[in-house]
Amino acid sequence: MRAVVQRVSQARVLVDRQVRGHIEKGLLVYLGVGCGDSDADVRYLAEKVRHLRIFPDEAGHMNLDVKQVGGRILVISAFSVQADARRGRRPSFEAAEQPDRAAVLYQMFCEELINLGVGVERGVFGATMDVESTNAGPVCLLLDSHRAF
């Protein structure tokens, strides 16, 4: 399971021009479920995202997590996070999980974040979405539950 995590001052997702999720300060997470990902991957990545200390404290150091700053998380399903573009010009998506299983793990990830005490907004799994955000920093991190990087 992989995630692109962005610290944002605001983000929203639209489907058919209708706002489906919106946050102010918090994290925008693009989540890609990989073949063979399990409940353990969900738990690991949700814990990692929830407790990332990437918000500034009074001294301007990245020492606070999303809950400590009163932030929320917008989670967007994005199979393209699993893309492999090392060869050729067209990315391969072979590492991405099949939609039925990926949808289950995506929902589990969102529920795990809620269980960890943070507010969550969601995109619409499998939909074509427009995502708007203002990156704060900018701060962008890549996470992988298999610790590939």
User: pLDDT by residue (tens digit) across 14-63?
Assistant: 999 999 999 999 999 999 999 999 999 999 999 999 999 999 999 999 99
**pLDDT of res. 129:** 98
What 8-state DSSP symbol labels residue 23?
A: E
**pLDDT of res. 41:** 98
**pLDDT of res. 84:** 96
CATH of the domain at 76: 3.50.80.10
**pLDDT of res. 116:** 98
Q: Is residue 111 part of a domain?
A: yes
**pLDDT of res. 76:** 98
Domain that holds residue 75: 2-144
**pLDDT of res. 104:** 98
Q: pTM for the full model?
A: 0.97
Residue 70 has pLDDT above 90, yes or no: yes
- At 100, list the tokens: 């039925």
Pairing, β 62-64 against β 55-56 = antiparallel
Total number of domains in the chain: 1
Q: Helix axis angle, 99-115 relative to 39-51, nearest 10°?
A: 40
Residue 88 has pLDDT above 90, yes or no: yes
The SS3 assignment for 58 reads coil
From the CA atom positions of the chain, what is the Rg in Å?
15
Q: Is residue 120 part of a domain?
A: yes
Q: Report the alpha-carbon distance of residue 145 to residue 141 in Å, rounded.
A: 13
Residue 149 has pLDDT above 90, yes or no: no
pLDDT tier, 124 (very low <50, low <70, confident <90, very high otherwise) = very high
Q: Is residue 10 part of a domain?
A: yes
Q: Report the alpha-carbon distance of residue 125 to residue 108 in Å, rounded.
A: 12
Q: Is residue 149 part of a domain?
A: no
Q: Is residue 108 part of a domain?
A: yes
Cβ neighbors of 70 (< 8 A, separation 6 or more) are 25
Q: Report the alpha-carbon distance of residue 142 to residue 78 in Å, rounded.
A: 13
| pLDDT over 90 percentage in the chain | 99
Q: Is residue 137 part of a domain?
A: yes
